[in-house]
Structure 1
Amino acid sequence: MSHVFVVDTNKEPRAPVHPGHARLLLKQGRAAVWRRYPFTIVLKGGAPAQEAQPLRLKIDPGSKTTGLALVNDESGVVVFAAELVHRGQQITKDLTTRRGVRRGRRQRQTRYRPPRYRNRRREQGWLPPSLLSRIHNVVTWVKRLRRLASIQAISMELVRFDMQAMEHPDISGTQYQQGTLAGYETREYLLEKWQRKCAYCGKEGVPLQVEHIVPRARGGSNRVSNLTLACEACNRKKGTLDLSVFLKKKPEVLKRIQAQAKAPLKDAAAVNATRLVLLERLKAVGLPIECGSGGRTKYNRVMRNLPKTHWLDAACVGASTPDVLQVAGVHPLRIEACGHGCRRMRNVNKIGLPCSAPKGPKKVQGFQTGDIARAIVTRGKKQGVYVGRVLVRATGSFDITTRRGRIAGLDVRFFSHLHRSDGYSYAKGEGYANPPTQSPPK
């Protein structure tokens, strides 16, 4: 069961407690709700508090989603788990839109905006904003969790498992490139690129074979761009046939394979570009850091018979992983980065011309867009209780976005605050109710 964070009257972290214990403290008036996400209670004067337990924060960085887990190394209890969803793709889209609007403005008879890229120089170690946002998200939540729990160490997945370097530490050059590691890395690359399923029939959960798109008999090479994955049946059926002949009756599959074969693995490139910068940022936090590999994470997860999810991968990072992880009933908190809005005074259409009135005030009667609130509507067609993110208007008619959709036109008097806007949205993720028996690694 996911635990509840506890802080004392001086806002110092104490030992997290079971949700049932937290409910009892709140019912008896010995504690109050301090934060909703992640749920935290603050003890009132005179309420007893357990001493803080040393915990380890484990991080599994990803391109789109990063797994977080707070683990007690002594007992193996996963105290808290979260899946942090990044907004790198949205940032790229917004910057592309802004660039188009500014360039279009220079071609019209409007206020001239001179280009500034000619007198700008990127400093060493520069990262694009879409990648930098991933680093900021992780560092932000490391600092937040430190204020809620007694974190004494950090474990982070840094690199993949390098079999060739471990078997032959002195190997280098051509031998390194063409040795055991080449086949291992190639297969892992193909598994991620083709989503671990047969490229021809789409079967999953079956043994997959590395297959040449252009057969070797027809001059095909061993380049990664010419390799794909196929089940045994499709591999035998294709044989030395040309791809266009083999998929003559499936033109949509042929088109997809030809496009996907040339596409790079963007997610892996994003993780590789940010991992060392993230490591340096975490070192600045001041906690000892343990770096693990992807191979170690997978080994720990498989030996403990756990499914593959972002938060369970995080719990299995590093050599410090306890022999038995207590993950029953843990429901990860889904944290999605949403940003803090934009500084554009008006919305624009696809050609960059204003298409709306100037923006109104940021706050309306104490609410601002992005706040998480509860709306209790007592009359009318929209009668009911709604919880979600608020969109404010100067007229006092708000919208609220819930799991079931968006409810428009609710009066401000129906709303009450739950959580102030902090650039993230929150939801309860799928937990792990009945884990199989874990066998400790041998």
Structure 2
Amino acid sequence: MLDSFSMELVSFDTQKMMNPDIQRQDYQKGTLFGTECRAYLMHKWEGKCAYCGRKAEEVEHLVPRSRGGSNRISNLVMSCRKCNNLKDNQTLEEFLKRKPAQLRRIQAQQQASLADTAAVNATNYRLLDELKRFGYPVETGSGAQTSFNRQQQEYDKAHWIDAACVGNSGEQVRVPHLRPLQIKCMGRGNRQMCRTDKYGFPNKHRTRQKVFFGFQTGDICRAIVTTGKKIGAYVGRISVRATGSFALFLGAGKVDGINKRFFQTLQRQDGYSYSF
């Protein structure tokens, strides 16, 4: 009579199967090993070689490992292959002894403050909590995973492409078919009460009123003009006037002198501009 099951719980050594030569501490190094450090260095050196400014290809030790150099982040820079080969096992000071200005620049960059990094580390979990409050599923992933996903799919380095490659869902994305939304902070105006001429003397005074006929400068509007010389349909940001004759700023120019009756508000001014 069958009243129970016996199961042999097998655990396969997948890393050994993929890399038969793996040993000891190498088990702790997965496919993302070193990627976090490389991503940080690429950001710090803006993807350029610290020595010549060309496109960076490799992580390079300022003090070579053969001369006691460590893997600490302060001893690492990004380098192109040519400069890496030229430097060989020299120290930074030896390699750039005839280029003191370049030497000082690299040393100053190495001592740069980590304030921005600390700010990101301090706020990322708070941002995660705020996103969860919307009630939608929130996926998380590390910077190393994002970089790994992008490189596996052979996409170029760009902020919007990195955004598409975040987390497990970023392992397979069709970036060429995406159009990123460009958002730029424009501000909500200024407190200047008058305009001045080239000598600094006031020549025009600005009204304190911002809204005219229900419209405000910076609103995104559609204008369907049915009469006059400017017949057509336009979409852009408006600049309002007390006369009711507004200007509409398009992506490639401006259409001026459109009467207020032709406008329809699409989005109120919020301090940002949006474009594809």
Give matches, 1:70-81, under 5 Å.
Answer: none
Hey, what's the Cα distance between the residues in 1 that align with 2:206 and 2:94? 59
SS in 2 for 1:229: strand
Q: Does 1:314 align with 2:160?
A: no
**Which gives a bigger RCO, structure 1 or 2 (Cα 8 Å, sep 6+)?**
1
User: Are residues 328 and 194 of structure 1, via their aligned partners in 2, closer, same or farther at CA, if it must alter by over 3 Å?
Assistant: closer
Match of 2:57 in 1: 207
Residue 334 of structure 1, aligned match among 182, 192, 195 = 182
Query: How much has 1:266 moved relative to structure 2?
Result: 5.6
CA RMSD of aligned residues (A): 4.5
Offset, 1:275: 0.9
- Describe how 1:13-412 pairs up with structure 2 within 5 A: 167=28, 185-204=36-55, 207-212=57-62, 224-225=73-74, 227-238=76-87, 239-240=90-91, 241-242=93-94, 245-247=97-99, 251=101, 253=102, 256-264=105-113, 268-319=117-168, 321=169, 324-327=172-175, 329-341=177-189, 344=191, 346=193, 357-374=205-222, 379=229, 387-396=235-244, 398-404=246-252, 407=254, 410-412=256-258
For structure 1, the residue ranges without an aligned partner over 5 or more in a row are: 1-163, 169-179, 429-442
1:231 offset after TM fit, Å? 2.3
Aligned residues: 238
> What is the distance in 2 between the residues matched to 1:222 and 1:291?
28
Deviation at 1:284, TM superposition (A): 1.9
Which structure dedicates a bigger proportion of its chain to strand?
A: 1
Secondary structure in 2 matching 1:291: coil
Partners of 1:234 and 1:210 lie apart in 2 by 9
What displacement does 1:379 show? 4.3
Cα distance in 2 for residues equivalent to 1:300 and 1:425:
30
AA aligned opposite 1:334: Q
Partner of 1:24: none
Residue of structure 2 equivalent to 1:427: 275
Question: Aligned in 2, Cα 1:390/1:267: closer, same or farther, shift over 3 Å?
Answer: farther
Q: Quick one: distance in 1 between partners of 2:246 and 2:118?
A: 41
Deviation at 1:279, TM superposition (A): 1.2
Distance 1:393 1:270, change over 3 A: farther
Counterparts in 2 of 1:363 and 1:274: CA distance versus 1, 3 Å = same
Structure 1 residues 303 and 228: alpha-carbon distance in aligned structure 2, compared to 1, 3 A threshold: closer
Aligned twin of 2:263: 416
- Could you say if the C-alpha distance between residues 288 and 323 of structure 1 is closer, same or farther in structure 2, counting changes exceeding 3 Å? closer
Q: Deviations over 1:75-127 (max 9, x none)?
A: xxxxxxxxxxxxxxxxxxxxxxxxxxxxxxxxxxxxxxxxxxxxxxxxxxxxx
| TM-score (norm: length of structure 1) | 0.43
- Is the CA contact (8 Å cut-off) linking 1:215 and 1:242 kept in structure 2? no
Distance between the aligned counterparts of 1:226 and 1:294, measured in 2?
Answer: 21
Query: For the residues of structure 2 that align with 1:216 and 1:303, how far apart are their CA atoms?
Result: 29
Q: 1:267 to 1:416 in 2, by over 3 A?
A: farther
Structure 1 residues 246 and 217: CA distance shift in structure 2, 3 A: farther
Distance 1:244 1:378 in 2: 69
Fraction of identical pairs, as percent: 43
Structure (1 or 2) with the larger CA radius of gyration: 2
**CA displacement at 1:354 relative to structure 2:** 11
Query: Offset of 1:194 from its aligned partner?
Result: 0.5
